[in-house]
Amino acid sequence: MDDIFNSNIGIIIDVVLAFIVVFLLGIGYVGYKDYAKNKGSQKTDVNSNHSDDENNNLNI
């Protein structure tokens, strides 16, 4: 009985771990896709803000 119970728990843990890994990879892929899209669409905004920050630092 104990051996069957332990093997079933091992299978459940494997399934849960596999699901977590797939879930995290999915989040990472979607997050990276959104980040790349935002970076591409706001490229000029980021550069202008960066230059403003540099000018402010030089003025100080």
| Site of tokens 């997050």 | 31
Instruction: Describe the crossing of helices 43-59 and 2-41 by its angle, rounded to 10 degrees.
Output: 70
Classify residue 38: in a domain, yes or no.
Answer: yes
Residue 34 lies in a domain: yes
Domain that holds residue 37: 24-60
Q: Exposure string (b/e) for 17-48, b if CB count within 10 Å is 16 or more?
A: eeeeeeeeeeeeeeeeeeeeeeeeeeeeeeee
36 domain-assigned: yes
> How open is the CA angle 50-55-52, to the nearest 5 degrees?
35
For residue 52, tell me if it sits in a domain: yes
**Is 51's pLDDT higher than 60?**
no
Domain count, the chain: 1
Give the tens place of pLDDT for each residue, 14-35. 999 999 999 999 888 888 888 8
pTM: 0.44
Q: What is the CA radius of gyration of the chain?
A: 24
